[in-house]
Chain A
């Protein structure tokens, strides 16, 4: 277990009700100790998870976002995780261009019986986020930073990666 004395980071989880939320319950019932950083949002199906929820969390300053659903083919709603897989994969692949470290977002599949796997996923993901450290805020955190940003911008004129070349 990672040391509990370090500062907690903000990790948001989106879990489908039928498999992964049940898996997290199973882990709890079995008393599989896990880091405490993660906060879980329950949704009916991974197909309900809009990649924009993940983006919203990251832009709000979440240090990590973890999505988990039923294993492909085991979706309670037959097809939800098939759609989710495509949507989430595209988000994960897209993040690098934004400069947001794509390792801050992960998606996986955990069934209701896989308590141990859930413990492993949470532990590993939390460890990864702690290695990455706190996420940089997209909005400047202080007045000074806001001011610097404005100055920076004003001095640049046409600050464009393309048109300058």
Chain B
């Protein structure tokens, strides 16, 4: 039985007891996937778990508060779920997790660059073991999966779900050791360059809030302080400073909570590399608190607790 069939069988067994199971299906063309909300047998038939299926189902979890739902989760998605559980934003008995040992998902952005022309509408995609065969305007292009793997997958330390009721696929023994050269290169740049980079980049931001809306940890729903008058944290003016302020709010609220699912960056319509900020903050959290969000149950996010003596915060002398 293929992994997909195995998964379908597992979901089928739970369909009656669940309001909905969240997975993926093909989107507007064969290259793009879209979330699938499975409520019956015919929905289930459309389920897809290819490397094109990228969305984090945890984003929808809090929206189903009080209902019992299932979710197909990859490693990073399970971290989001664990973090939501730790923050008591969802209840364990209300979620059934169909875990997928994950070999990585694609970056549409990288596919776009790898294709000879702007994809627009793709006629067919054939998914091989290590390559994608994409038919675009009658012409077939083969792209190695490894070349278009999402950045988060290249350095993923948790490809297998950390929490699952059903586990599909083979667990990974070794973990990629890779580091992201571009992240390190950016961090090493002088302040002035980084400052100008964000000024430039933030002037591109259209404040669509896609990064926020897709974030599984942004649970403020309609009450995000970026768009409220009371409290009035920022104006609705579209300027680099205000746009960056919004990103700083997002970073601040995610301190010690971000599970690095990469959805914010994926969803950004103007290609702002938000993960530069996320990874950097997560690294700081790891260094100071030894904390990685969503990697173990019953851990309080570090900013919601404290130690009288902080082992790794140096008291500042004057």
Interface of B is mostly: helix
Residues of A within 8 A of B311 (CB): none
Contact between A59 and B318 (Cβ–Cβ < 8 Å)?
Answer: no
Which of A1-9, A17-25, A156-164 lies on the face that meets chain B? Answer: A156-164
Contact between B193 and A165 (Cβ–Cβ < 8 Å)?
Answer: no
Chain A CB within 8 A of B192 CB: yes
Taken together as a complex, chains A and B put the C-alpha atoms of A76 and B127 apart, in Å, by: 63
Per-residue A-contact encoding for B150-192, CB less than 8 Å = 1, 0 else: 0100000000000000000000000000001111011100011
Chain A CB within 8 A of B110 CB: yes
Chain B CB within 8 A of A142 CB: no
Residues of B within 8 A of A50 (CB): 252
Chain A CB within 8 A of B46 CB: no
Taken together as a complex, chains A and B put the C-alpha atoms of A138 and B203 apart, in Å, by: 10
Q: What residue in chain B is nearest A118 (Cβ atoms)?
A: B318
Contact between B182 and A161 (Cβ–Cβ < 8 Å)?
Answer: yes
Chain A CB within 8 A of B277 CB: yes
Residues of A within 8 A of B151 (CB): 162
Q: Say how far B268's CB is from chain A's closest CB, in angstroms.
A: 10
Residues of A within 8 A of B110 (CB): 163
Chain B CB within 8 A of A32 CB: no
Within B256-300, which residues are at the interface with A (CB < 8 Å)? 256, 271-273, 275-277, 280-281, 284-285, 287-289
Interface size on B, residues (CB 8 A): 61
Chain A CB within 8 A of B255 CB: yes
Chain B CB within 8 A of A33 CB: no
Q: What residue in chain B is nearest A90 (Cβ atoms)?
A: B255
Contact between B203 and A149 (Cβ–Cβ < 8 Å)?
Answer: yes
Q: Say how far B49's CB is from chain A's closest CB, in angstroms.
A: 25
Residues of A within 8 A of B109 (CB): 163
Residue among B198, B248, B276 facing the most chain A CB atoms (10 A cut-off): B248
* Extra pairs beyond A85-B313, A89-B310, A140-B240 (16, CB < 8 Å): A52-B248, A55-B245, A59-B248, A87-B255, A90-B285, A97-B277, A98-B194, A98-B248, A98-B277, A99-B196, A107-B316, A124-B318, A139-B239, A159-B204, A163-B109, A163-B113
3 closest Cβ pairs, A-B complex: A99-B195, A99-B194, A82-B306
